[in-house]
């Protein structure tokens, strides 16, 4: 995989440093190798769900943490291979750590495990101060006689 240097972008694009950091992170994040598989679903205008296939993991073996703009899902499988002798082992029973980069104002609202699928619900709540607002046009200046 190629490693791109985005330093020129930092110098010439003002305010796009976060976008460049996200691009660098996406290019460097190849350690997950697709395990465990997951879906990202749009449930509504500002509601999302991440569904991860974690068959064989108990709730106690899963950990979800959210800090800033990162959501980290970890699975720590207890080693029980000494107890069993497999003729064929096609089910992966290894630990994992998957990191998701969250957009601004996206927070986790809940998580549940059902039928081997870990569902993580997210919502984007934009603060009122940042939402677009309509400004009425008046007939006279607002600041006429300010003393």
SS3 (DSSP) at 133: coil
Peptide bond into 36 cis (omega under 30): yes
Burial 78-116 (b: 16+ CB within 10 A, else e): eeeeeeeeeeeeeeeeeebebebebeeebebeebeeeee
**Within the chain, how many helices (H) and strands (E) appear?**
2, 7
Strands of the 38-44 sheet, one edge to the other: 38-44, 47-53, 117-124, 106-114
Provide the whole-model pTM.
0.67
User: Tens-digit pLDDT profile for the chain (147 aa)?
Assistant: 566 665 665 554 445 555 556 566 655 555 556 889 999 999 988 899 999 999 889 999 999 999 888 999 999 987 766 677 889 888 777 889 999 988 888 999 999 999 999 999 999 888 888 778 888 888 877 666 656
Contact 106, 122 (CB under 8 A): yes
């Amino acid at each position: 995989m190629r490693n791109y240097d985005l330093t020129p972008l930092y110098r010439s694009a003002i305010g796009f440093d976060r976008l460049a950091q996200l691009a660098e992170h996406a290019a460097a994040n190849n350690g997950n190798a697709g395990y465990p598989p997951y879906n990202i679903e749009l449930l509504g205008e500002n509601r999302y769900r991440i569904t991860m296939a974690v068959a064989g993991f108990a709730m106690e073996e899963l950990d979800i943490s959210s800090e800033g703009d990162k959501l980290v899902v970890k699975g720590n499988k207890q080693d029980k291979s000494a107890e069993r002798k497999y003729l064929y082992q096609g089910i992966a029973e290894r630990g994992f750590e998957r990191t998701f980069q969250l957009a601004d104002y996206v927070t986790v609202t809940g998580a549940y495990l059902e039928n081997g699928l870990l569902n993580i619900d997210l919502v984007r709540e934009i603060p009122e101060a940042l939402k677009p607002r309509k400004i009425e046009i008046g007939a006279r200046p607002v600041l006429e006689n300010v003393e």
